[in-house]
Amino acid sequence: MMLRGITLLWALVSLTQQAPSQDKCVCEFENSQNIFPREKLSTVEEGASKCNSDITPQQTLDLEILLLGLKRRLPQLEGDVSILEKEDDGDLYGVVSLQVVENELLEIRQLLDRLNSTSRRYQRLTVDATKQLEDLKEEMEEMEMFDTLQVVKGQQDNQRLKRDLDQCRHDLQPSIHPTRRPERADCPHGDFKNISGPRVYTAGEYPGSYIYGAWGQDPKPEVGKEDWYWVVMLTSGNKFSNYVRRYSSLSSLVIGKSVPGNTLIHTANPTTNTIQGPNAVLYGEALYYNCYNQDAVCRFNLTAKTVINLKLPPGTRYNSKSNFCHLDECYHFTDMDLMTDESGVWVVYTTTQDHGNIVLSKMTDGEELRLTQTWHTSVYKQGVTNTFMICGVLYATRYVDKTIEEIFYSFDTMTGVERFDIGVFITKMTPNIYSLNYSPVDQMLHVYSNAKILSYKVIFS
Ligand SMILES: *[C@@H]1O[C@H](CO)[C@@H](O)[C@H](O)[C@H]1NC(C)=O
Ligand SMILES: *[C@@H]1O[C@H](CO)[C@@H](O)[C@H](O)[C@H]1NC(C)=O
Ligand SMILES: *[C@@H]1O[C@H](CO)[C@@H](O)[C@H](O)[C@H]1NC(C)=O
């Protein structure tokens, strides 16, 4: 550009060529205008390249990562919207996909907010850069005066440079720093960060026979049963069961040798207070599950072989009215999800007055059975595929494709803070996760998925 400036500068100068004498030639220059500010031009050029080298490498890397995230999100949103458009109005799946699309829009908005933001660490730099860029712009405008004289023909260059400078300044606009959750004292492992690949993967004792089910380890076992595992398979129409099957170790579960065998709730299946749906958990030698044909949680005491039940609040949806779903399928009889964490037993469900959004309640695990506290979330139950609790925080998953499930949502019962941007992916071996529960004993997620038994290690920071 400087070279061009100098070349064009010659046009400013009127050249007078005198008639040649015999042996020499004399040229006379006469400058009719102001001298082109060459120094200024170099300063601007230096400034602009300094802006590039000083600022952008530190900032644009983050921006590029975020942009890449956006680029991936948008086609997915587009796909889901077109699915939504194809569906009938008022149809259940229409509502579900609308929810999925809404979740995606929320994530995209969060990405945009993050794009717009720079950390406080860079704020000082930003102020300096803005001043510097304003000076540069002013000088560029001064130089534009020469344009009237056709000296700086490179107006396009100017404009390009100006646009780059504006862009540079725009990208550096400061914003609010995201707030961090305070450290919690009751969580011994730190914050939830990620999930390992599958650690246990087995077809169990009855390969392929029972599509729906649940399995795990009692977080509060009786003495001598610390290594025991339990399995509940929905043996009647993939919907109901009337017993818990137990194994004295993980290896006996994997090879399919059930030594303690079954503990029967009732000889009939299904009948009053037997198991409905796959989301059961064992805690303190008692099985917690959705009672057959009731808006209630049952607790089966494996020692006394007695069942008590607890009716959930009026309006609670049951009998496959508010299941876990993805776009192609709802998992029948998943109206309620029983869960364990470090602090005991929890239940996820929804009610008519909550418009189908997830309600979370903490339960007692002593002699009596009651709800101790309840939280209302803004995530639509039929827009998620499963939930689990870690350290008093509820996490929800959604189906991405046959091989990937995403943990996308969290609700912190201590702070009431909801997040839709968790973005932790579970690598699946089979498409549908019918039950998902966290074991505080070994920090594993236990998964029952299309007749397969799997576990994943939870990674904390
Ligand atoms: C970017 O952040 C600033 C400061 O928080 C805010 O005023 C502005 O509206 C944001 N711009 C966009 C496009 O979100
Ligand atoms: C989580 O773990 C997977 C595989 O183990 C890895 O590819 C991914 O980058 C991790 N994600 C985060 C947020 O650490
Ligand atoms: C189960 O029954 C046994 C024997 O009656 C009793 O000691 C125990 O406390 C009961 N467990 C629960 C959780 O109620």
Lowest-pLDDT range, 86-95, 231-240, 407-416?
A: 86-95
C-beta 170 within 6 A of ligand 1: no
The answer to whether 297 and 336 are in contact (CB under 8 A) is: yes
Nearest to 327 by CA among 90, 105, 81, 69: 81
Tell me the mean pLDDT in the region 382-402.
96
Ligand number nearest to the C-alpha of 123? 1
| Per-residue pLDDT reduced to its tens digit, 7-26 | 343 433 333 344 444 566 55
CA distances from 171 to 62, 116, 117, 178, 266 (A): 11, 7, 9, 18, 66
Beta strand 261-264 pairing with 243-247: antiparallel
Confidence (pLDDT) at 179? 38
Q: Which atom of ligand 3 is nearest to the CA of 301?
A: 1
Global pTM value: 0.64
Using the mean position of ligand 2's atoms as its centre, give its distance from the Cα of residue 14 in Å: 69
Two structure tokens written together for 358:
């997830």
175 Cβ inside 6 Å of ligand 1: yes
Q: Which two tokens stand for residue 284?
A: 């303190």
Higher pLDDT, 265 or 32: 265
Nearest CA to ligand 3 atom 4: 304
196 has pLDDT over 80: yes
CATH class of 186-460: mainly beta
Q: Cα of 312 to ligand 1 centre, how many Å?
A: 44
- Name the DSSP class of 221: P
pLDDT of residue 52: 55
Q: Which of the pair, 57 or 303, is modelled with greater confidence? A: 303
Residue nearest to atom 4 of ligand 1 (CA): 175
Q: Whose CA is nearest to atom 11 of ligand 1?
A: 116
| Ranges 30-34, 81-85, 179-183, 310-314: which has the least confidence | 179-183
Alpha carbon nearest to ligand 1 atom 6, residue: 175
Name the one residue in this structure whose structure tokens are 């236990």. 446
Contacts of 391 (CB under 8 A, 6+ apart): 184, 186, 187, 189, 192, 341, 342, 343
Per-residue confidence (pLDDT) for residue 18, from 0 to 100: 41
pLDDT at residue 250, as a whole number: 87
Average pLDDT, the chain: 80
Place of tokens 């060529």: 17
- pLDDT bin (cut points 50, 70, 90) of residue 46 is confident
The protein residue whose alpha carbon is closest to atom 2 in ligand 3 is 304
Core vs surface per residue 218-244: b (16+ CB within 10 A) or e: bbebeeebeebbbbbbbbbebbbbbbb
Question: What is the distance, to the nearest Å, from the Cα of residue 180 to the centroid of all Cα atoms in its chain?
Answer: 16
pLDDT of 266 over the 70 cut: yes
CA-closest candidate to residue 276, choices 247, 306, 297? 297
The pLDDT confidence band at residue 404, using thresholds 50, 70 and 90, is very high
State which of 301, 307, 345, 367 you would mutate to test the pocket of ligand 3, scoring each by most atoms of that ligand within 8 A of its C-beta: 301
Cβ contacts of 34-38, under 8 Å, gap ≥ 24:
34/146, 36/5, 36/6, 36/8, 36/9, 36/12, 36/146, 36/151, 37/142, 37/143, 38/2, 38/5, 38/6, 38/9
Q: Is 374 in the pocket of ligand 1 (CB under 6 A)?
A: no
